[in-house]
Amino acid sequence: MRSNVIAGQDVHRHWGGVVPELASRAHQEHIVPVVHEALNEAGVIGSDLSAVAFTQGPGLIGALLVGTCFARSYAQALGVPLIAVDHMKAHVLAHFIQDGSDRPVPAFPFLNLTVSGGHTLIVLIRGPLDMEVLGTTLDDAAGEAFDKGAKVLGLPYPGGPLIDLNAKGGDTKRYKLPAPGIKGYDMSFSGVKTAFNDLVKRGVSKEDAFVERELPHLCASLQQCIIDIVLRKVQKAGRTLNISSIAMSGGVSANSALREQLQSLGDREGWAVFIPPPVYCTDNGAMVAIAGHFLFQAGQFATMDTVPHPR
């Protein structure tokens, strides 16, 4: 990796969540300067490139359209192959980014927990291009549960990191939240969100300063409930498949409590645990590039009439 330029979108903070139209406009505004800066930082020019990789999906259709149209045009102008990358597979392959550090990488096969604002997946990784989804959320994603819980508490967007921060020192057992009994490896978080919303409303109805007084405990209880749901399924999958390596990626894998507890679970089960640095957990260009690298090696290129896949 020679450069990994990321343009944040603080415009959504004012609205308490991602506004699709504003996201599309921000992509349109930033994509040329970001690519220009990435090339400069890497010390290369367009003619040095072997291919152009881009996120085909899943994601917001407006933002995907901006990236797809730019990538198609850029690859066509350079006369190089176009590579369409699945966003969730890119999160998994972030483990293999080579950045000069001596960070170990998981050996195949391994189990990957992919947790983000839009997805929660347990995936069996047999190879860079051979992945099988074993379990997913039946409704909301873990990241959404964190953000919606934060919104109920009056915390600004994105709320997940603030839940993590405020949970430190809180009592994880102060408030009991429901753990859904879903069979197999699938998960559910909508009931947790509803129960937490009801809990806060009841507390505020009795005491105006309820959230302010109980904030660390509310954050800790919500966070632990979400972590328990996820890790219970990971433990079940790991034991059933007799896996020796467990990995985690996606934006929510930057959560400090989840990182610590996955490592502890691995220690108890005798699993090797792999988690990328936080900068590779949240959405970034480097993970799309490494996914493109494996597709390039396999000769799997997209055509110039490729369109985005939002789902």
Q: Where are the domains of the chain?
A: 10-92+282-298, 105-275
Prediction pTM value: 0.92
- Domain over 105-275 is classified CATH 3.90.550.10: no
The fold for domain 10-92+282-298 equals: Nucleotidyltransferase; domain 5 (3.30.420)
* Model confidence at 8: pLDDT above 80: no
* Model confidence at 18: pLDDT above 90: no
* Model confidence at 9: pLDDT above 70: no
* Model confidence at 15: pLDDT above 80: no
Residue-wise pLDDT for 247-258, tens only, equals 999 999 999 999
* Model confidence at 210: pLDDT above 70: yes
- Residues forming beta bridges with residue 273, ordered by sequence position: 246
Q: How confident is the model at residue 20 (pLDDT cuts 50, 70, 90)?
A: confident
pLDDT at residue 11, as a whole number: 67
Residue-wise pLDDT for 95-148, tens only, equals 999 999 989 999 999 999 999 888 999 999 999 999 999 999 999 999 999 999
* Model confidence at 84: pLDDT above 70: yes
Are residues 200 and 150 in contact, defined by beta-carbon separation less than 8 angstroms? no
User: Average pLDDT in the 180-195 region?
Assistant: 95
CATH fold match for the domains 10-92+282-298 and 105-275: yes
pLDDT at residue 21, as a whole number: 87
More confident residue, 176 or 10: 176
Residue-wise pLDDT for 296-307, tens only, equals 999 999 999 999
pLDDT at residue 304, as a whole number: 95
pLDDT at residue 12, as a whole number: 66
pLDDT at residue 19, as a whole number: 80
* Model confidence at 152: pLDDT above 90: yes
Query: What percent of the chain shows pLDDT beyond 90?
Result: 88
Residue-wise pLDDT for 50-72, tens only, equals 999 999 999 999 999 999 999 99
